[in-house]
Amino acid sequence: MREKILEITNATMQFGGLIAVNNLTMHVSYQEIVALIGPNGAGKTTAFNMMTGVYKPTSGFVVLNKENITGMRPDMIAQRGMARTFQNIRLFKALSVLDNVIIAQHLRLKSTWPGAVLRLPRYRAEERLMHERAEDLLRYMGLWDVRHEVSASLPYGMQRKLEIARALATQPTMLLLDEPAAGMNPAESDELTGLIRGIRDHFELTVLLIEHHMDVVMDISDRIYVLDYGNLIATGTPEEIQSNDDVIRAYLGVDEDEA
Amino acid sequence: MKQKQYAEGALPRTRQRKITSTLLTVALLAALAAALYALDTNASSLVLRIVRLCAINVVLALAMNLINGFTGIFSLGQAGFMAIGAYATALLTIPAAKKAMIFMITPLAPPLDQLTLPFGTTLLIGGLLAAGAAFLVGVPCLRLRGDYLAIATLGFSEIIRVLITNAQGLTNGAQGLKNIPPNATVWWCYGTALVVVIFMALFTTSSYGRALKAIREDEIAAESMGVSLFRHKMLAFMLSAFLAGMGGGLLAAFNGTIGQDMFRVMQTYNVLMIVVMGGMGSISGSVFAAFVVTIGQEWLRVLDGPMTIGPFHTDGISGLRMVVFSMLLLVIIIFFRNGLLGTKEVTWASIGRRLSAMAGHKRKEAAS
Ligand SMILES: Nc1ncnc2c1ncn2[C@@H]1O[C@H](COP(=O)(O)OP(=O)(O)OP(=O)(O)O)[C@@H](O)[C@H]1O
Ligand SMILES: [Mg+2]
């Protein structure tokens, strides 16, 4: 069996009286593409926030590349190879497309700030490399032509792509995508499916994504986890999930007494 | 046709352009040096005061812009950092004999009573002490958000004033310090300002400067991309305090006397006005606004004097010009929220674009 890159064990997230994620256990193995699905408010984004350090789990563990990262700050987790995109796009709005991608490489910078101010040879070499890598990424993601534009001025679909490019710029081993196809038209989301697969192969990544577009999910996923009201109600291959009664019930929103 | 929207500093630069802009910069600096030399030898002492104050305000405005404009942290502690730098420079430059005369109530603590150092060194020491204070203040305060941080830093600034008033044996308390040697010549003021401008330009365009802008744009995203919020905010806060300390040192030498009442919150607002007017996050904006505001405030001084407007006569309302200036600040904040330049910079390339656009416009007009 392939090694587990990301492993969540009995993770619970409680906000006051609300249990947003309840005792979640799941894993993603090397170079897998796994989907986390569920109705609105099921706790998917909260699960991402626990994995990336935005929230500290009330209880349970998160392990990345065999290291316990539970309770670490988001920047420390990013350093260790986890990158993410945001459901409600969070680009560096006033900055150019290129700058968005260059900034995301700052965490790999070795030069100190005095070295950067003095533009020492080592810093200049690092800066050049950051530029080249950013340009490669923008070409790869089809954002080359808009690289000098203010990121907030891009159309929605391109902003989503830029979010992915920015996440890739941190040189992750584990990529978390929160609804990458949200707001995209069928053609765009179709293209996205191929793009995510391509990214996985090209950058040798492991991918966990949240997605509402079922055609995307069923097409792209090796395995699927289904959350409902914070509880894991099913897990399996796309075929298994499609024919799972609990999942159908959760999605159709049928009440017990009605059924 | 609608022009494409370009982000700051995004246009590609060819080698040719680089050489041109370097030459233009050298020419501008030479012209500036010549103008300063002419002023230094010919201008009245009043004019020279204003000329020097402009440069000091450039330093102070850039110091504040680094934290408030580039990093997006609303700090109101600048007067405190300036006070530290001002007292450091004063105490380390006043000759020993004069110190004995100034400190009449409680003598100045040794070894400061005998110690005098070169002006440049004292500016650096003042900056370093201010940066040290920023570290101590930053540890608890930089974890706060928005308004809370503004209030906490404001509180720090007031605490510094109280300490100054009470540390009689170090600061001469409420009597303040006088006989500070007039080291803040045109050359010191403009030399410091130039170094600070260059430093800011290099720092804000470096990877660290970009990280600060990322924090300003979206803290959560920046942190998720691996930018340590605390370390980077602390860096910006300490560097800003260092520059403010140097500016305070210049101001002490410029004034000749200092006291705790010089470093009230009003001092911070004064600099804030420059930063807001020039554009939060614009170096050239701050430089430009420092001149406009400094000269403007001198010019509006007539408002404080006796006036006769129609049937009304006043013997002078002191502080009226500050009222007018505060109103100007309000207008800027309400109608031009991004100041003169926003986060943009005036560069040779941008001037060139503007000029060629104007030329193109003229040509079109002629054709139609
Ligand atoms: N910081 C918070 N404080 C309090 N409650 C929260 C917080 N974050 C999330 N919640 C609650 O937790 C529950 C799960 O929210 P979450 O955003 O994880 O859902 P989701 O599965 O991502 O939904 P969607 O498909 O709409 O994005 C919701 O009821 C939400 O209101
Ligand atoms: Mg969500």
Q: Which of B339, B132, B10, B275 is nearest to A148 (CA)?
A: B10
Q: Which of B347, B282, B287, B356 is nearest to B21 (CA)?
A: B347
Evaluate whether A25 touches A232 at the Cβ level (below 8 Å): yes
CA distance B214 to B225: 10
**What count of other Cβ atoms lies within 10 Å of the Cβ of residue B262?**
20
- Higher-pLDDT residue of B359 and B9 is B359
Q: Which of A91, A123, A170 sits opposite B226 (nearest CB)?
A: A170
CA distance B286 to B291: 9
Per-residue pLDDT, B3 = 47
Evaluate whether A246 touches A233 at the Cβ level (below 8 Å): yes
Q: Do B8 and A130 touch (CB under 8 A)?
A: no
Q: Is A49 in the pocket of ligand 1 (CB under 6 A)?
A: no
Among A81-90, B17-26, B51-60, B289-298, the minimum mean pLDDT is found in: B17-26
Per-residue pLDDT, B169 = 80
| Residue B249 pLDDT exceeds 80 | yes
Strands (E), B145-213: none
Of A14, A45, A87, the residue with max ligand 1 atoms within 8 A of its CB, to mutate for a pocket test, comes to: A45
Among A251-255, B288-292, B323-327, the minimum mean pLDDT is found in: A251-255
Q: Reduced to 3 states, what is the DSSP secondary structure of residue A231?
A: strand
Q: Would you put residue B163 in left (φ > 0), alpha (ψ -120 to 50) or beta?
A: alpha
Q: Which of 219-238 (B) contact A at CB < 8 A?
A: 220-229, 235
Q: Which of 87-106 (A) contact B at CB < 8 A?
A: 90-99, 102-106
CA distance B275 to B279: 6
| Residue B135 pLDDT exceeds 90 | yes
CA distance A50 to A44: 10
| Residue B256 pLDDT exceeds 60 | yes
Residue minimizing CA distance to atom 30 of ligand 1? A41
Inter-chain CB pairs, A–B, below 8 Å: 133
Calculate the average pLDDT of chain A.
93
Evaluate whether B221 touches B214 at the Cβ level (below 8 Å): yes
Query: What does the pLDDT look like over A81-138, one tens digit per residue?
Result: 999 999 999 999 999 999 999 999 999 999 999 999 999 999 999 999 999 999 999 9
Q: How far is the CA of B345 from the centre of ligand 2 (A)?
A: 38
CATH dotted code for A1-81+172-259: 3.40.50.300
Q: Do A96 and B217 touch (CB under 8 A)?
A: no
Measured in whole angstroms, how far is the alpha carbon of residue B150 from the centre of its chain? 18
Percent of chain A with pLDDT over 90: 85
- Partnered with residue A6 across adjacent β-strands are A28, A64
**What count of other Cβ atoms lies within 10 Å of the Cβ of residue B34?**
10
Q: Is A18 in the pocket of ligand 1 (CB under 6 A)?
A: yes
Categorize the per-residue pLDDT at A159 as very low, low, confident or very high, splitting at 50, 70 and 90: very high
Categorize the per-residue pLDDT at A79 as very low, low, confident or very high, splitting at 50, 70 and 90: very high
Chain position carrying tokens 């590609």: B12
End-to-end CA distance of chain B: 16
Evaluate whether B142 touches B73 at the Cβ level (below 8 Å): yes
Q: Is A156 in the pocket of ligand 1 (CB under 6 A)?
A: no
N residues, chain B: 368
Strands A4-15 and A231-236: unpaired
Residues near B74 by beta carbon (within 8 Å), at least 6 away in sequence? B68, B146, B147, B149, B150
Which residues in chain A are closer than 8 Å to B218, comparing Cβ atoms?
90-93
> How large is the average pLDDT for residues B123-140?
97
Please give the helix or strand (H or E) that residue A178 lies within, else none.
Answer: strand A174-178
In Å, the largest CA–CA distance within chain B is 81
Per-residue pLDDT, A259 = 39
> How large is the average pLDDT for residues B4-25?
68
Please report, for chain A, the start and end positions of each structural domain, with discontinuous segments joined by +.
1-81+172-259, 91-171
Q: Which of 197-256 (A) contact B at CB < 8 A?
A: none
| B180: its two tokens | 């500070």
- Higher-pLDDT residue of B162 and A1 is B162
> How large is the average pLDDT for residues B98-126?
85
Per-residue pLDDT, A258 = 43
Q: Is A81 in the pocket of ligand 1 (CB under 6 A)?
A: no
Query: What does the pLDDT look like over B301-355, one tens digit per residue?
Result: 777 777 777 777 777 777 787 788 778 778 877 877 777 777 788 888 888 888 8
H helices of A141-182, where?
Answer: 156-169
> How large is the average pLDDT for residues B29-41?
88
Per-residue pLDDT, B338 = 77
A210: DSSP letter: E
ipTM value of the model? Answer: 0.92
Query: What does the pLDDT look like over B54-83, one tens digit per residue?
Result: 999 999 999 999 999 999 999 999 999 999
